[in-house]
Amino acid sequence: MKNQPNQSPKATEKLIAAAIAAGVSVVILESSKAQRRRHHPLGSTNAAQKVVMLDGVRMSLGQGKEYIKSRAKMPMNPQTGSVDTADNWEAEGHTQQNADLIEVVKNDSGEWEEA
């Protein structure tokens, strides 16, 4: 199958901005196989176009969003072990200045570790 140019450049730009903010290395794929159906006797499935390379792995938009979301830094209360977004902590009245919140990220085994 012939390579096609990126079919969603605006969404890719947003994904790149989020990747840079999360500290993930990112490379834009200028062209790749277009979105297509994979047919199989047990059922067919959709294969989305790969548009970016994050930390050396080619990904579609959906895969990239999930990957960046899993690598984002999150505030954690070390006394309770609670992890939540900064917006939710602020809604409860906690900020980095008035609480003992530390930034954590998920490691490859799915556990939180200090960033």
Sorted by where each begins, the domain ranges of the chain are 3-71, 74-114
Given this model, what pLDDT does residue 1 score?
62
- Taking alpha carbons only, the member of 69, 77, 109 closest to residue 96 is 77
Mean pLDDT of the 74-82 span: 86
Mean pLDDT of the 47-55 span: 85
> What is the rounded average pLDDT for all residues in the chain?
84
The Cα 83–Cα 76 span in angstroms is 4
Q: Give the confidence band of 27 by pLDDT, cuts at 50, 70, 90.
A: confident
The 8-class DSSP code of residue 110 comes to S
Pick 30 or 66 by higher pLDDT: 66
